[in-house]
Amino acid sequence: LSVAGAIVPLFDMFLMNHTQTEADFINFARASLFGRAVYAVTAILAQWLLPNQIRGEKFGVRISLRKVMAGALVICAAAAWVSPFVAKYIFKWSEHPDVTLVFLASAEVSMLAIIFFIIQTLCAQHKPRQAGMFIILMALEAGTQLLFKFPMMYYLAGALSVQIVSVLAFLQAAPKPTSRK
């Protein structure tokens, strides 16, 4: 959990800083600001839930992680749609990042937030090997990007795809809760 807490929040920033030109990195940093708000809310929620996760307590509200992912992607699409307005009138930037970049950067950081929450849940359930698989996946993702230095949009689309598939695979493999009759 400590390793995830250290690397997940700035994972994408580290990779973009080491694989993109300075101008592209600055553009990415601006675009990813929109997704950082989603990450911050998720991190606060994860810290609030951690004591209950460790005690193994159930929560009164059960929300499907698939629905959370879909909701996050919708929020990222909305953020991308309003990003030119926010960039111009709130941030006072002379140029706004491309809306596709805002969506991809926001969605990718949102998936990182979901992955962090899964890692935390697995650690609380005393399943460090399963949690470690997500860390290994991130290491492979980082190694691939550092080696090939894909252009930003290609990397973000690929990383987002890998992250979504890995979360869906985790959900598919997770034991289903049994209902009591």
Please say whether the beta carbons of 40 and 117 come within 8 A. Answer: no
User: What's the average model confidence in pLDDT over 150-154?
Assistant: 96
pLDDT at 19: 96
Please say whether the beta carbons of 105 and 32 come within 8 A. Answer: yes
Q: What is the pTM for the complete model shown?
A: 0.86
Q: Is the pLDDT of residue 61 over 60?
A: no
Cβ atoms within 10 Å of 141's Cβ, excluding its own = 19
User: What's the average model confidence in pLDDT over 55-82?
Assistant: 80
Q: What is the mean pLDDT of the chain?
A: 87
SS (H, E, C) 132-178: HHHHHHHHHHHHHHHHHCCCHHHHHHHHHHHHHHHHHHHHHHCCCCC
Please say whether the beta carbons of 82 and 37 come within 8 A. Answer: no
